[in-house]
Amino acid sequence: MQGGMLVFRGSIVALVTPFRNNAVDEKALQDLVEWHIGEGTHGFVPTGTTGESPTLSHAEHDRVIELVIEAVAGRRPVIAGTGSNATDEAIRLTRHAERAGADGALIVTPYYNKPTQEGLFRHFEAIHDATDIPILIYNIPGRSVIDMTPATMARLAALPRIVGVKDASADITRPLATSAACGDDFCQLTGEDGTVVGFLAHGGQGCISVTANVAPALCAQMHEAWREGRCADALAIHRRLFALHTALFVETNPAPAKHALGVLGRCTDEVRLPLVKVSPDCAARIDAAMRSAGLIN
């Protein structure tokens, strides 16, 4: 399934990591994968931000990727989250994902260190040169403090296996600037559910989605409608989901998504410290948004 734009598109779920008694709930994780495939999800990103990668041990991180690849069994692309703010650690994680059979690696810009644009370039170049797997840059200024410019992205896009970006800048003009710098073949996926239709209209190919954890069928249908030229239908689904897009970020992701999945009976609402379960007010808002989207009665 390896490749760029033609493979990584549509509704790609930023998959939660289910916990039970503070351990990875392996059965719930693989059951989630099977549910998503049945609901039409177009791809999977395990061990990203939504997968609580910062609080997974290295052994857990590797195991979650292996479990998802095993459960997907080649039916959809799997893009493993393998980023770190230490380049050597990101190389190790990316090499593991490649050996495990991932179709791509999603690598976040180094958080906390605050590298320059040259530092960003060299970080991704080093990972690229040490591995042989398609790489998506994960640009999320809100969590990593730094913002990779389209000019730096264009330098990286010249490398053969850096195939695209998950853009979580929430700047709706960014896909226009990125395609101008990197070319139309550079795969652009939004990481912001609230911008998805606008992002597609500006040339994006899909969304690495938090909302897809909770509403996989609707998210998949929205992207399929867009791809088939039924833009009004896509926008209608987006509007139906908008309250949910918003509610899932009232408190820190993925606690709201895990609450919603608990309501749906798909996994527990456990998160790991320093994250905590959602407050009663947040829970009520999520439940109301799920009702308005038609996900619960």
Instruction: Convert the pLDDT of each residue in 27-49 to its tens digit.
Output: 999 999 999 999 999 999 999 99
- In contact, 161 and 136? CB cutoff 8 Å: no
Structure tokens belonging to residue 157: 């896009």
Can you give the residue ranges of every domain in the chain?
A: 10-228
Q: What is the mean pLDDT of the chain?
A: 96
**From CA 182, how far away is CA 196, in angstroms rounded?**
20
Superfamily in which the 10-228 domain is placed by CATH = Aldolase class I (3.20.20.70)
Average pLDDT over residues 266-292: 98
Identify the pLDDT of residue 5: 37
Instruction: Convert the pLDDT of each residue in 160-209 to its tens digit.
Output: 999 999 999 999 999 999 999 999 999 999 999 999 999 999 999 999 99
Q: Does this model's pTM top 0.85?
A: yes
**Active-site annotation, residues:** 138, 166
**7: pLDDT confidence band, cut at 50, 70 and 90?**
confident
Of 110, 109, 165, nearest to 134 by C-alpha is 165
- In contact, 102 and 134? CB cutoff 8 Å: no
Identify the pLDDT of residue 268: 98
pLDDT at residue 107 above 50?
Answer: yes
Strand partners, 138: 108, 166
- In contact, 97 and 65? CB cutoff 8 Å: yes
